[in-house]
Structure 1
Amino acid sequence: MPHATDIPAPPAAELARHFRARLAAETDCSDVHATLQARPDAIVVVDTRSPEAFAAGHVPGAVNIPPATMDAAALAAHGDVLFVTYCWGPHCNGATKGAARIAELGFPVKEMLGGVWGWEMEGFTLVGAPQDAVAS
């Protein structure tokens, strides 16, 4: 049975570069929520799921742009911002596909780890979700 210590960790400087690189490309639900509260014009949150999934519930202020429909003109219309992609959660790679496409088109982007699942686990609410329709 393998153990965590079977393969030695790299030198600390190499690890620091690795983890800093991950932080440059990834963010989490709590940090996105805080940014939306303090500086909402600094980011555009991109829901990469289907229009039907988006309509059923999404992060407040998010725009729905599935990766197959992303183009430079649509992204440029949002101005000089950081794009943040998300999808369903850890089991879904739609956010990764969207982030790759946005980067290929030349725009700054991060992937929000956790997606919809993480957003709700953090205690944040979705808009357009069934509970919102009942409250209306």
Structure 2
Amino acid sequence: MTTESRVLTFPALDSLTAAALLRAELALDVDPDDLVRDLDSGSQQGYMIVETRAPEAFATARIPGAINLPYRDMTPESVSELDRDLVYVCYCESIHCNAATKGALKLAELGFKVKRLSGGITAWQAAGYPVDRDLLTPALTSAPSPRCAC
């Protein structure tokens, strides 16, 4: 009995096409480990970290050095002071939220270079990386839920 492979139902791309698509994917996404290594080594030149969730979520837990720019509030006026020479690394709650994609899209449409942080603040915290929070905001007792906080 011959069974066809489910894995190969759709044939693999040729190596040049696959390499081009994977390179494009890496041009859009940032791994939390790469970001924390940059922060730890002080190598954050050339980019800014952007929290695209609501201010309440930003107050609860955020990546150190991030600015809060909710995607819903992005307008030509609200981003007019941003440095157009930087790359903006957008993040949101988790893989269950697309606020980072929405924010990155808005910034790109407004002429900025962008990337997204894979997994959002949830992946960041699950890896044990540090977060900042507003002093009067209680710390989360566990990792944030997959519920979107944007």
Identity %: 36
The code of the aligned residue for 1:75 comes to: V
| C-alpha contact 2:95 2:119 (8 A) present in aligned 1 | yes
Pairwise CA distance, 1:36: 2.6
Q: How many residues align?
A: 132
Q: By how many angstroms is 1:68 displaced?
A: 1.8
Once the two structures are overlaid, the 10-residue window that deviates more, 28-37 or 4-13, is 28-37
Q: What is the Cα deviation at residue 130 of structure 1?
A: 3.4
Other structure's SS at 1:97 match: helix
Q: TM-score, normalised by structure 2?
A: 0.79
Match of 1:27 in 2: 30
Q: 2:129 aligns with which of 124, 132, 136?
A: 124
Offset at 1:76? 4.6
Query: Aligned ranges for residues 1-136 of structure 1 at < 5 Å?
Result: 3-37=6-40, 38-79=42-83, 80-128=85-133, 130-131=138-139
Q: Which is greater in Rg?
A: 2
Q: Tell me how far apart the structure 2 counterparts of residues 95 and 10 of structure 1 sit (CA, whole Å).
A: 28
Task: Determine if contact 1:57/1:130 at 8 Å carries over to the other structure.
Answer: no
Structure 2 distance, partners of 1:21, 1:3, is 26
In the alignment, structure 2 segments of 5+ residues that lack a partner are: 141-150
Show structure 1 runs of 5+ residues with no match.
none
Task: Return the alpha-carbon distance in structure 2 between the equivalents of residues 31 and 108 of structure 1.
Answer: 18
Q: What root-mean-square deviation, in Å, do the aligned CA atoms of Structure 1 and Structure 2 show?
A: 2.0
Q: CA deviation at 1:2?
A: 7.0
1:131, distance to aligned residue in structure 2 (A): 4.0
